[in-house]
Amino acid sequence: MATKLGVYNAALRLCGQRPLHSSSGLTEATPARYALDSVWSEDYADAWLEEADWTFALDGASLGKDDAVEPDFGYSNTFELPSEMVRLSGVYEDSLMTIPHRQYRHEGNWIDSNLPYIYIQYVDRTKGEVIADWSPKFVDFVAAGLALKIAPVLHGKVDTDRLFATFERIKHEAVSANGLSQPSRSLPRGSWASARIGASNGIG
C-alpha cells in the first residue's frame, strides 16, 4: 500500500539522497523534506492526475441540463461538470457508457450539447488523492515528478538531464500500464483528433 512517506523516499532515492526516517520522516527538519512538502502542497494531485485516465481515480456521473445557463450558439443545452473533475475521460449518450456522444462543445467547467442529459466519465480529484489506492506505476511517476522539481534545491550535484530522462521513461511506463488495465471501449473524439480534422467539438 502506497504512503506519502514512501513516495517521498522514492523521490529522494532518484536524487541520490538519503531517505527520511520511517518514524519521523514527515516531520524531519531537513531541506529535502521542506522541498518535498512545498511541491506537494502546490496542487500536486492535479498536475499528475491530468496526465491520463488513471483507473484508480475514474468516476462517472449523469448530468442534466442547467436551465439557468444559456448555451453557446449552435447548442440547445448546457451542463455543469463536477467541481472535483481533473480530466474529462469520455462523454456518452447511455448510462452504460457504450455509446460515445460526439456532438458537443467542452469549455472550462461546462459542456454544451443538444441532448437533454449526458453521461460522463472523468478523473476525480477526491479519489485521486487517496494515496493508498495509487497503482505502483503511478507512485513511481509521482516520485519521479517530485524528484525533478526538488533537484535544484538539494545539496550535492544532481544530474538533472539524467533525472529528466528517467522521469519521461517512468511517465511513459505508467501511462502505458494504465491503458492496458482499462477495458476496451470507444472514446469520444479528443482534442488531438479534433485539431487534426479541424473540428470544433470534442474534449479540449
Q: Cell 527538519 appears where? A: 29
CA-CA distance, 136 to 153, in Å (whole number)? 27
**For the purposes of burial, counting CB atoms within 10 Å of the CB of 121, is it exposed (0-12), middle (13-18) or buried (19 or more)?**
buried
Residue 112 near residue 77, CB atoms below 8 Å: yes
What is the grid cell recorded at 52? 491520463
pLDDT above 90: percentage of residues in the chain: 68
pLDDT of residue 200: 31
Q: What is the pLDDT of residues 97-122, one digit of tens each?
A: 999 999 999 999 999 999 999 999 99
- In the structure, what pLDDT confidence band is assigned to residue 189 with cuts at 50, 70 and 90? very low
Question: pTM of whole model > 0.85?
Answer: no
Q: What is the pLDDT of residues 33-69, one digit of tens each?
A: 999 999 998 867 788 999 999 999 999 999 999 998 8
Q: Cell 526516517 appears where? A: 21
What is the grid cell recorded at 203? 474534449
What is the grid cell recorded at 53? 485516465
- In the structure, what pLDDT confidence band is assigned to residue 70 with cuts at 50, 70 and 90? confident
